[in-house]
Structure 1
Amino acid sequence: MKTNYILPAMLGICMFMGACDKQLDLEPENTITEDKVFEKFYTAESAVAGTYHMLFSAATNDYVIAEATAPTCGYSSSAARSYDDINNGVIRPEDENLQQIYEDYYAAAVQANLLLHKIPKLGKYDAADMKQHMAEAKFIRAFAYLRLLGWYGDGALMNQPQKDGIVMYLEHYDGFDRDTDIHPRNSNQQVFQQIINDLEEAIVDLPDPSEQEGIETRVGRANKATCEALLTRAYLYQRDYSNALIWANKALSHSEYQLEEDVLTVFPPNPDDAVIPFSKEHIFGFPVSSNGGNWQFGGNGVYYSNNHYWYSQDLISTFADSDLRKTKLMNQASYQGNPVYITKKYPNTSGRDNMTMMRLPEIILSKAEALAHTSNTVTQEMIGLLNAVHLRANPNESGYIVADFASSNEYLSRVLLERNKELAFEGCSRFDHLRTDRPLYNPELADNKKVLPIPLREIQISNGLVKQNEGYINN
Structure 2
Amino acid sequence: MKTKYILLGLASICMFLSACDSQLDLAPEDTIIEDKVFEKFSTAESAVAGTYHLLFSAATNDYIMAEATSPTCDYSAAVGRTYDEINNGAILPEDANLQKIYESYYAALVQANLLLFKIPELGQYAEEQRLQHMAEAKFIRAYAYLRLLGWYGDGALMNQLQKDGVVLYLEHYDGFDRDKDLRPRNTNEEVFARIVLDLEEAIADLPAPEEQTDTETRVSRANKATCEALLVRTYMFKRDYANAVAHANQFMSYSQYDLEDDLLKVFPPNPNDAVIPFSTEHIFGFPVSSNGGNWQFGGNGIYYIYNNFWYSEALISAFADTDLRKSLLMNEHIYQGNSVFVTAKYPNDSGRDNMTMIRLPELILSLAEAMAREASAVNQDMVDLLNDIHLRANPEESGYVVSDFASVDEFIDRVLLERSKELAFEGFTRFDQLRTDRPLYNEELPDNKKVFPIPLREVEISNGLIKQNEGYN
Cα distance, 1:21 vs. partner?
A: 2.3
Residue 417 in structure 1 maps to residue 417 in structure 2: yes
Q: Deviations over 1:386-420 (max 9, x none)?
A: 00000000000000001100111100000000000
Residue 298 in structure 1 maps to residue 299 in structure 2: yes
Residue 427 in structure 1 maps to residue 432 in structure 2: no
Corresponding position of 1:21: 22
SS at match of 2:169: coil
The partner residue of 1:10 within 12, 15, 18 is 15
Q: Deviations over 1:272-307 (max 9, x none)?
A: 1111110000000011112232456222343x0110
> Cα gap change, 1:200/1:416 in structure 2, threshold over 3 Å: closer, same or farther?
same
Corresponding position of 1:59: 59
Q: CA RMSD in A?
A: 1.6
> Cα gap change, 1:139/1:23 in structure 2, threshold over 3 Å: closer, same or farther?
closer
Corresponding position of 1:227: 227
Cα distance, 1:27 vs. partner?
A: 9.0
* Aligned 1:273-352 pairs, distance under 5 A: 273-294=273-294, 297-302=298-303, 304-352=304-352
Corresponding position of 1:268: 268
The CA distance in 1 between the partners of 2:23 and 2:417, in whole Å, is 40
Aligned residue type for 2:85: D
Corresponding position of 2:152: 152
Cα distance, 1:81 vs. partner?
A: 3.8
Q: Deviations over 1:327-373 (max 9, x none)?
A: 00000001111100000000001111111000000000000000110
> Cα gap change, 1:400/1:274 in structure 2, threshold over 3 Å: closer, same or farther?
same
> Cα gap change, 1:139/1:8 in structure 2, threshold over 3 Å: closer, same or farther?
closer
Corresponding position of 2:446: 446
The CA distance in 2 between the partners of 1:275 and 1:66, in whole Å, is 27
The CA distance in 1 between the partners of 2:27 and 2:424, in whole Å, is 36
Residue 125 in structure 1 maps to residue 130 in structure 2: no
* Aligned 1:244-259 pairs, distance under 5 A: 244-259=244-259
The CA distance in 2 between the partners of 1:255 and 1:27, in whole Å, is 33
Corresponding position of 1:101: 101
Mean Cα deviation higher: 74-83 or 395-404: 74-83
> Cα gap change, 1:22/1:255 in structure 2, threshold over 3 Å: closer, same or farther?
closer
Structure 2 gap ranges (5+): 1-9
8 A contact 1:9–1:28 mirrored in 2: no
Q: Deviations over 1:408-440 (max 9, x none)?
A: 110000000000000000001000000000000
> Cα gap change, 1:167/1:27 in structure 2, threshold over 3 Å: closer, same or farther?
closer
Corresponding position of 2:6: none
Q: Deviations over 1:86-127 (max 9, x none)?
A: 101110100000000000000001100000000000000000
8 A contact 2:329–2:344 mirrored in 1: yes
> Cα gap change, 1:205/1:429 in structure 2, threshold over 3 Å: closer, same or farther?
same
The CA distance in 2 between the partners of 1:426 and 1:85, in whole Å, is 22
Corresponding position of 2:7: none
> Cα gap change, 1:29/1:306 in structure 2, threshold over 3 Å: closer, same or farther?
closer
Q: Deviations over 1:106-149 (max 9, x none)?
A: 00011000000000000000000000000000000000000000
SS at match of 2:398: coil
Aligned residue type for 1:10: M
Residue 90 in structure 1 maps to residue 95 in structure 2: no
Q: Aligned residue pairs: how many?
A: 463
Aligned residue type for 1:299: N
Corresponding position of 1:377: 377
8 A contact 1:165–1:186 mirrored in 2: yes
* Aligned 1:37-56 pairs, distance under 5 A: 37-56=37-56
> Cα gap change, 1:270/1:7 in structure 2, threshold over 3 Å: closer, same or farther?
closer
Cα distance, 1:26 vs. partner?
A: 9.5
8 A contact 2:110–2:173 mirrored in 1: no
Q: Deviations over 1:201-252 (max 9, x none)?
A: 0000000000001100000000000000000000000100000000010111
Cα distance, 1:173 vs. partner?
A: 2.0
Structure 1 gap ranges (5+): none
Cα distance, 1:258 vs. partner?
A: 0.2
Cα distance, 1:176 vs. partner?
A: 1.3
SS at match of 1:297: coil
The CA distance in 1 between the partners of 2:368 and 2:34, in whole Å, is 46
The CA distance in 2 between the partners of 1:189 and 1:145, in whole Å, is 12
Corresponding position of 2:136: 136
8 A contact 1:284–1:356 mirrored in 2: yes
Q: Percent identity of the aligned residues?
A: 68
Aligned residue type for 2:216: E
The CA distance in 2 between the partners of 1:315 and 1:153, in whole Å, is 28
Aligned residue type for 2:367: K
The CA distance in 1 between the partners of 2:24 and 2:73, in whole Å, is 40
Corresponding position of 2:182: 182
Superposition misfits of 4+ residues, deviation over 3 angstroms: 5-9, 22-29
The CA distance in 1 between the partners of 2:90 and 2:203, in whole Å, is 41
SS at match of 1:305: helix
8 A contact 1:24–1:42 mirrored in 2: no
The CA distance in 2 between the partners of 1:45 and 1:460, in whole Å, is 37
8 A contact 2:206–2:222 mirrored in 1: yes
The CA distance in 1 between the partners of 2:73 and 2:26, in whole Å, is 38
Cα distance, 1:178 vs. partner?
A: 1.4
The CA distance in 2 between the partners of 1:339 and 1:22, in whole Å, is 42
Corresponding position of 1:30: 31
The CA distance in 1 between the partners of 2:11 and 2:459, in whole Å, is 29
Aligned residue type for 2:22: D
Cα distance, 1:10 vs. partner?
A: 2.0
